[in-house]
Amino acid sequence: MIVVIGLVLVTVGTVLFHFLSPWWWTEIASNWGFIDTVIQITFVVTGIVFVAVLLFTAYCVHRYRYRKDRRSEYKPEDPKLEWWLTGLTSVGVVIMLAPGLIAWNDFVTVPEDAAVFEVVGQQWNWKFRFPGKDGVLGTSDARNINDDNPFGLNVDDPNGQDDILVDDSELHLPIGQPVQALLRSIDVLHDFYVPQFRAKMDMVPGMITYFWLTPIRTGTFDILCFELCGIGHHEMRGTVVVEAPEDFEAWLGEQTTFAQSMARAGNGADGVLSLVSRAASAETTATQ
């Protein structure tokens, strides 16, 4: 009897905890409400199975408890019951998987009016790039990466000259505008994740992955790396500020373009000085 009461208590306790728990999702800040719905459908299906299995076990423990005058019956197969179980399990699996396929299809089908920006992941920080006035991101190559060109843009690609470089872990996005995030890693696997957006995607060296979203709530949200990427993984964090379009434009206007950053690095006393100091530090490293 103790076992029966224990099983019933675990069932009731778990269901109550699910509904009364103070730990629920953060408030959603993107158009991906359907992804929450998909997870809730999974909760319902697995919840029903969980409750049914535990209560059935409790029932059996009680109903078929040991009695001296009773013997168990040997019944290795029951085709009718097996058909029922196979059928119900299939229905449950389809209910859980089908909405996910729809959500995934939406997630990777980028609307035509989506603006584009790039996220670059690197042990252990984030960088962002927006196309300039031409609306086109310049091409890049990991082999171009150096201190003056941390994004590895192709110097002679005209599309890249006006690209806006954000060499900082704070990203800004305008509210209400669909955006496509192009994701690039320049060392190991990372994963760009903003919990409030309900959106994340792996970043794989040598390839460009993507997803899209429309921010629907202003605020400042955490960006997390969601793929264990080395000893500093836990501190690979950033922030995304969702704000009014005019505030976003103002912020964008304060950033440096690729042409400006190259001009700064290559010309003038500043450029020469940085070259000298780099040569000096190379020497120190060599003599160490």
Contacting positions for Cu ion (CB under 5 A): 190, 225, 229, 236
As measured in angstroms, the least distance from the Cβ of 38 to Cu ion is 26
As measured in angstroms, the least distance from the Cβ of 12 to Cu ion is 41
As measured in angstroms, the least distance from the Cβ of 128 to Cu ion is 15
Instruction: Decide whether 29 or 229 has the Cβ nearer to Cu ion.
Output: 229
Token pair, residue 69, equals 């005058």
As measured in angstroms, the least distance from the Cβ of 194 to Cu ion is 14
152: amino acid identity, one letter: G
Instruction: Decide whether 178 or 195 has the Cβ nearer to Cu ion.
Output: 195
Residue 170 DSSP SS3: strand
Instruction: Decide whether 120 or 229 has the Cβ nearer to Cu ion.
Output: 229
As measured in angstroms, the least distance from the Cβ of 125 to Cu ion is 9
Helices (H), the chain: 2-20, 33-63, 79-108, 245-254, 258-266, 268-287
Instruction: Decide whether 157 or 202 has the Cβ nearer to Cu ion.
Output: 202
Cα-trace Rg, the chain? 28
| Spatial contact of 54 and 10, defined as CB atoms under 8 Å apart | yes
Instruction: Decide whether 163 or 191 has the Cβ nearer to Cu ion.
Output: 191
Q: How far is CA 217 from CA 9, 12, 122, 197, 272, in A?
A: 40, 36, 28, 10, 45
Instruction: Give me the torsion for CA of 152, 158, 207, 186, rounded to 10°.
Output: 10
Instruction: Decide whether 7 or 225 has the Cβ nearer to Cu ion.
Output: 225
Backbone dihedral angles phi then psi of residue 5, each to the nearest 5 degrees: -60, -40
Handedness of CA 64, 66, 69, 73 (dihedral sign): positive
As measured in angstroms, the least distance from the Cβ of 263 to Cu ion is 31
Paired strand residues for 174: 243
Report how far residue 98's alpha carbon sits from residue 80's, in angstroms, rounded to the nearest whole number. Answer: 27
Report how far residue 194's alpha carbon sits from residue 182's, in angstroms, rounded to the nearest whole number. Answer: 15
